[in-house]
């Protein structure tokens, strides 16, 4: 099998049906397939082979979708990276996955050059805004043939690598197979019975597992139309939404918050939406109730993680919606709750959430030891705490891992603390997640200054932004005299 063949299927049965809408552009399924094939031919000419890595560095736009499927089509592995990653972050990702090709969606030449210093594995950089030494994406679309037969692969062949700070607190490449993503993309079509009439809103980034599987692959699998949004800008988005008549979407709680409170949403009509999913972060009961009251639309809250492709469980229109829970396991997935010794706990008892099923990743790319740490005896140990009720619904209660979830993004404290401790005025540091209705949590840094130093809050935040994506950086720095730590070295208090 080859996951890209879902485009062939749609193009064969309904070639003129709209596949993608982006700003004022529309692309049919036949046009999408031809564009994918042109890029596939270019990748083949560049020498890309089975198992090679092709990086995408862009947001939600047609070129992302084309690159995503073209990489798979030639048998390569698509590595979907956040275009806002710093050169420091990119250098780590690149050294781990050693890409053969990079497809860039913006003017990232300087950032790429710095990240690729002393790297000799990249054969080709394709860019929407090409600089010297880079190849134009549009020229490829003009100069290469539009027919290409997808490489036949084993269903368990790797399809995508998504870097996540992982369940181990540092960035690792979760490797998802064609089968992983294929089964996880079935929910809209097979569970909800939706088809080509679907207008799916892809607002959250498709370079993350939630956006790719839920909004992109799910809608294409159903033969629907994907409405791509590269940036959340409500004043520009709202007029566009009024025309789109969206019927389905998966969003993070922060966007639901904006749809409730942003002034431009005052008279917004979302009555066309039939299925609204929330994931990526806990959905507060306040946001749930206010959204439902304002728009008369239910929200179906779910749970997932990158290592599970990502959907694990969700409430859906055909079961009783329990908004305080994250729903029931998706088809073919089993959830258990284990104690610290790996024993199954009974209904209502809190423990670590573990799961198995066709959605569980192949492992962390090139990291067999780390993979064995989180996949044990066929079960993926999530690091999330929760319990199952008598009906099998999962309720999450906390985190076993040192993690902050802000605006739907996972931020692992260790990664940020290792950067902040490099600042010459910082003697010790600990990150804290402070509850926030809109973002779920916001990041604050507790900093012990070096003796005699008088650090500036803005300077410390700026220092962090030189190395890490903005969402990982603290919004506030609090200076303290001492940080106390537990036996595992995690902060337990400060004064």
- Is 401's pLDDT higher than 90? no
In a domain, 27, yes or no: yes
The answer to whether position 351 is within a domain reads yes
Q: Tens of pLDDT along 87-133? A: 999 999 999 999 999 999 988 989 999 999 988 999 999 999 999 88
Least confident of 22-31, 119-128, 167-176, 409-418: 167-176
364 and 487 together in one domain:
no
Distance CA 110, CA 104 (A): 12
The backbone torsions φ and ψ at residue 361, rounded to the nearest 5 degrees and listed phi first, read -55, 160
Q: Do 280 and 357 reside in the same domain of the chain?
A: yes
Q: Does the residue 182 lie in any domain?
A: no
Look at strands 199-202 and 248-251 and give their pairing: parallel
Percent of the chain with pLDDT over 90: 83
* 165, part of any domain: no
CA atoms within 13 A on the CB side of 106: 14
pLDDT band, very low/low/confident/very high, at 410 (cuts 50, 70, 90): confident
Over residues 278-312, the pLDDT tens digits come to 998 889 999 999 999 999 999 999 999 999 999 99
The overall average pLDDT reported for the chain is: 94
Same domain for 270 and 145: no
Same-domain status, 415 and 337: no
Do 67 and 78 contact (CB within 8 A), yes or no?
Answer: yes
Residues 246 and 378 in one domain: yes
What is the model's pLDDT at position 429?
Answer: 94
Domain range for 30 is: 5-153
Which of 282-286, 359-363, 388-392 has the lowest average pLDDT? 282-286
pLDDT for 487: 62
Q: Is residue 161 part of a domain?
A: no
What CATH code is carried by the domain that includes residue 314?
3.40.50.12780
Residue 412 is predicted with a pLDDT of 86
242 and 307 together in one domain: yes
Q: Which of 381, 399, 417 delimits the end of a domain?
A: 399
In a domain? residue 132 = yes
- With 80 as the cut, is the pLDDT of residue 143 above it? yes
Residues 231 and 300 placed together within one structural domain of the fold: yes
> Quick one: 473 and 335 in the same domain?
no
Q: Are residues 357 and 444 in the same domain?
A: no
**Of 206, 252, 253, whose CA–CA distance to 229 is shortest?**
206
Gap between the Cα atoms of 234 and 142, Å rounded: 34
Q: Are residues 147 and 114 in the same domain?
A: yes
CATH number for position 101 = 3.40.50.980
One domain for residues 235 and 351? yes
472: CATH: 3.30.300.30
Is residue 223 one of the residues assigned to a domain? Answer: yes
Last residue of a domain, one of 399, 429, 463: 399
* Domain final residue pick, 377, 399, 421: 399
Q: What is the pLDDT of residue 169?
A: 62
- Across residues 482-488, what is the average pLDDT? 77
Q: Which has the minimum average pLDDT: 348-362, 456-470, 479-493?
A: 479-493
User: Domain check: are 37 and 142 in the same one?
Assistant: yes
Domain tally, the chain: 3
**Is residue 245 in some structural domain?**
yes
Q: For 405-417, what is the mean pLDDT?
A: 88
Indicate whether this model's pTM tops 0.75.
yes
- Whether 167 shows a pLDDT value over 80: the answer reads no
């Amino acid at each position: 099998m080859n996951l890209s063949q879902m485009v062939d299927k749609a193009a064969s049965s309904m070639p003129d049906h709209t596949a993608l809408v982006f700003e004022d552009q529309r692309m049919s399924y036949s046009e999408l397939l031809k564009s994918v094939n042109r890029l596939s031919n270019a990748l083949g000419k560049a020498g890309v082979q089975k198992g090679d890595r092709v990086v995408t560095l862009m947001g939600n736009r047609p070129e992302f979708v084309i690159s995503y499927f073209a990489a798979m089509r030639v048998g390569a592995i698509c590595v979907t990276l956040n275009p806002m990653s710093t050169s420091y972050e990119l250098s780590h990702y690149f050294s781990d996955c050693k890409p053969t090709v990079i497809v860039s969606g913006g003017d990232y030449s300087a950032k790429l050059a710095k990240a690729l210093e002393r790297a000799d594995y990249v054969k080709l950089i394709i860019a929407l805004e090409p600089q010297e030494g880079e190849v134009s994406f549009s020229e490829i679309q003009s100069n290469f043939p539009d027919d290409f037969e997808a490489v036949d692969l084993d269903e368990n062949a790797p399809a995508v690598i998504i870097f996540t700070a992982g369940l181990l607190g540092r960035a690792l490449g979760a490797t998802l197979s064609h089968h992983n993503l294929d089964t996880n993309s079935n929910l809209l079509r097979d569970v909800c019975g939706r088809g080509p009439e679907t207008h799916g809103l892809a607002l959250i980034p498709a370079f993350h597992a939630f956006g790719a599987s839920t909004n992109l692959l799910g809608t294409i699998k159903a033969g629907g139309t994907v409405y791509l949004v590269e940036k959340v800008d409500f004043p520009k988005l709202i007029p566009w939404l009024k025309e789109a008549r969206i019927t389905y979407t998966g969003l993070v709680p922060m966007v639901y918050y904006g749809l409730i409170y942003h002034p431009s949403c005052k008279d917004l009509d979302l009555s066309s939406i039939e299925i609204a999913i929330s994931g990526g972060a806990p959905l507060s009961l306040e946001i749930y109730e206010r959204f439902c009251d304002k728009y008369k639309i239910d929200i179906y809250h779910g749970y997932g993680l990158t290592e599970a492709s990502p959907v694990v469980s969700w409430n859906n229109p055909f079961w009783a919606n329990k908004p305080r829970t994250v729903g029931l396991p998706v088809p073919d997935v089993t959830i258990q709750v284990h104690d610290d010794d790996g024993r199954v706990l009974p209904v209502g008892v809190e423990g670590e959430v573990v799961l198995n099923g066709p959605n569980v990743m192949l492992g962390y790319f090139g990291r067999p030891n780390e993979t064995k740490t989180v996949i044990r005896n066929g079960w993926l140990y999530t690091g999330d705490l929760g319990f199952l009720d008598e009906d099998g619904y999962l309720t999450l209660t906390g985190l076993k891992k040192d993690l902050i979830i802000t605006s739907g993004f996972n931020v692992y404290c260790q990664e940020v603390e290792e950067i902040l401790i490099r600042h010459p005025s910082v003697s010790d540091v600990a990150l804290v997640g402070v509850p926030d209705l809109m973002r779920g949590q916001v990041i604050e840094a507790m900093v012990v200054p070096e003796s005699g130093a008088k650090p500036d809050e803005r300077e410390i935040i700026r220092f962090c932004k030189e190395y890490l994506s903005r969402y990982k950086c603290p919004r506030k720095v609090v200076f303290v005299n001492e940080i106390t730590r537990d036996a595992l070295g995690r902060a337990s208090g400060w004064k």
